[in-house]
Structures are given as structure tokens and as C-alpha cells.
Amino acid sequence: MITVSVCMIVKNEEKILARCLDSLEGLYDELIVVDTGSTDRTKEIAGHYTDRIYDFKWIGDFSAARNFAFSHATCEYIYSPDADEVLNEENREKFRILKENLDTDIEIVQMKYAGQLTHGTVYNFDEEYRPKLFKRLRTFTWIEPVHETVRTMPVVYDSDIVIDHRPESNHSGRDIKIFERMLSEGRDLSKRLCDMYARELYLNGSLEELIFGHDYFEKMISSKDPDSDEFNVAAAILVREARLKGDVTSLLKYASKSIAGEGNSEVCYELGAFYEDAKDLDEACVWYYNAAYETSPCLSVKAAKKLPLEGLVRIYKALGITEQADVYEEELKKID
């Protein structure tokens, strides 16, 4: 049987920390809790479960905090939950069996993260694999019978353990501030972080936050040879910003750039919303239809189905074409 260190970083989690830790009872050999500046009872609650509680001054960097927590682990494997995660009884048993039988050649165990859509995260799918259990010390091994080389890729196992993600609130504002700080410091965003920043902005960003990101996405869309994915993302953000500002010239400029290419659902949806606000219902129908049926999303699956279909229902009802509105309401029922 392997030994497991649970390493957590927390801040102001008094409402949910016990729920998480109770669901892990009996599954770990040591519990390490790193607090990044709680002002509530988080540390007091953690103290009922462990005396391995450490303070880490928050520097706007989750990786730094997690690395600090991992540095205190002493077991063979490290499990890294957030306070808003829960293992139900079925998955607790799966975890126990995994712990008893895990082949120690495996360096990373992935578990299914569930509840993404239910709780309003920035992801477009309800369940995904995430690395959650890590071998603390890695052993390098020679492989291949001839032209031998050291295996550098980790051995990853996709388990059938499902972690229920139950956040109490949306953390988009916190995350957007981290992205803004990185940009203010002149730091580059990786393609992955660029995508995450854009998702946060499109789904949850305020107009002020969209305006802050304008120069970053303007530079991206104006590149001499933009990556097609990055181009679509930038167009979606800039068109949304322009619509919310009431800047028709910029809206048409960026929307035209997008439509001249492959287009995307987000841009078409924003055009539909623009024309609906302008009381041009026929034109709004065209763009809502394009968002739902003729293009694909780059940031928000809701912009490709739910939101434009709701727009089509509103407009056909306003036009008195109730039969067509009923058709789209039936489509909505299929995705709710």
C-alpha cells in the first residue's frame, strides 16, 4: 500500500473546509494545510484535523503556494485537493482501493473532475480528467533494448475516481486580477493561460476588465500572422467589449475581421445581441441563427446554443411567430 500526503492551500474556507476533509477521512497518512491569509476560522477548523498548518504570504501565484505545500510532504504520493472538492462514498472506496493497489511505477494519477457546468466555471464540459495524485520523488529509468534512453515522460494512469467540484462562489474576479497583474508586469501569457484569461473575461468579465485587456487582444488580432485559435479568441473578446461600450465602429471592425475568416459563435451571438438591442429583429435573427447553427464556439459553449436559442425564442415571440418560437424552445429543452 502506498502512503499519501494531502497538501492543500486555503484561504477563508470556513464554510466548506470540514466538508472536504471529512470526505477524505481515512484515505491519507498526513495532512498539510497551507493558509495564504485567512481572516475567518479556516485555520481553527484545519486544526481539528492536523497540526501541520503553515502560513504562506500570498504573492498572487498559485503555483508558488502549491510548491510550498508540496515541499512539506514526506509520503510516497501527494494528493492535491481544493477545499471545494468532495469525494462521495462510492469514490472514497475507489480511492481506498487505488491506494492499496497502485503500481508504484505510476507517477501521476488522473481523476475525473465533475460539476464544471453546474457551478458556473469557465469550462465548456461538465467532466474532465485532471492530475490529482503525484509521486513525490521521481525515479529515472532507462528504456529500450537498443539505442537506450532515459524515460522522461511521466507514467500516467487515468482512474475512474470522480471528484465532485462544489464551489461556494465564482472565483473569476480573483483570477482576472492575477492575469491583469501579469500583463501589467509585462509577462507573457502561455497559450493555455491566454485561453483561460479570455474565457474568464468573456463569461464573467466586467466592462472595465474587458477594457483593461483591450490592448493585449488588439495586439493579438493585429499580428501579421496570427494563430487561428488566438485570432478567434481575440475577436470574441474585442467584439464583446465594443458591444458593451456601445462602440459601433469597433464592433463592426472586429466582427468583420472574424467573419472574413472562419467566424465563431461568440462573435455571431454578440452581433445578434447588438441588433436585438437596436430593435432590428430580423437582423438579430440572422446572427443568432448563425451562432447556434453555422459556427463553432471558441470560448463559451453557451454562446453556441443556449444563449442564441434564447434570443431566437424572444424575437419570434416578439414578432408573433409563435410556432417558430416553440421550435427553438424545444431545442432549448434538449440542452438544459
pLDDT in tens, 58-93: 998 999 999 999 999 999 999 999 999 999 999 999
Give the model's pLDDT for residue 144: 80
Residue 132 pLDDT class (50, 70, 90 cuts): very high
CA angle 42, 92, 94 (to 5 degrees): 145
Question: Who wins on pLDDT, 150 or 171?
Answer: 150
CB contact at 8 A, 55 and 35? yes
The pLDDT-based confidence of 19 (bands split at 50, 70, 90) is very high
What are the angstrom distances between the C-alpha of 159 and each of 35, 102, 139, 165?
29, 10, 22, 17
Q: State the pairing for strand pair 127-135/77-79.
A: antiparallel
Question: Same topology for domains 4-165 and 172-335, yes or no?
Answer: no
Would you kindly state where each structural domain of the chain is located, as residue ranges?
Answer: 4-165, 172-335
Residue 305, φ and ψ in degrees, nearest 5: -140, -70
Reported as a single tens digit per residue, the pLDDT across 238-247 is: 999 999 999 9
Sheet with 53-55, strands from edge to edge, namely: 53-55, 30-35, 4-10, 77-79, 127-135, 108-114, 156-165, 85-86
Third-level CATH fold of 172-335: 1.25.40
pLDDT reported for residue 171: 59
Residue 131 predicted with pLDDT over 80? yes
Q: Which CATH superfamily is domain 4-165 in?
A: Spore Coat Polysaccharide Biosynthesis Protein SpsA; Chain A (3.90.550.10)
- Between the CA of residue 242 and those of 157, 255, 296, what are the distances in Å? 45, 10, 21
User: Strand 77-79 to strand 4-10: parallel, antiparallel, or no bridges (unpaired)?
Assistant: parallel
Question: Using alpha carbons only, what angle is made at residue 51 by residues 50 and 55, rounded to the nearest 5 degrees?
Answer: 110
For residue 220, pLDDT beyond 70: yes
Asked whether the predicted pLDDT for residue 146 surpasses 80, the reply is: no
Give the chain's radius of gyration (CA, Å).
24
With cut-offs at 50, 70 and 90, classify the pLDDT of residue 278.
very high
> In terms of pTM, does the model score above 0.85?
no
Kindly state the average pLDDT of the residues 193-216: 94
Q: What percent of the chain has pLDDT over 90?
A: 80
Q: CA nearest 170: which of 197, 203, 192?
A: 203
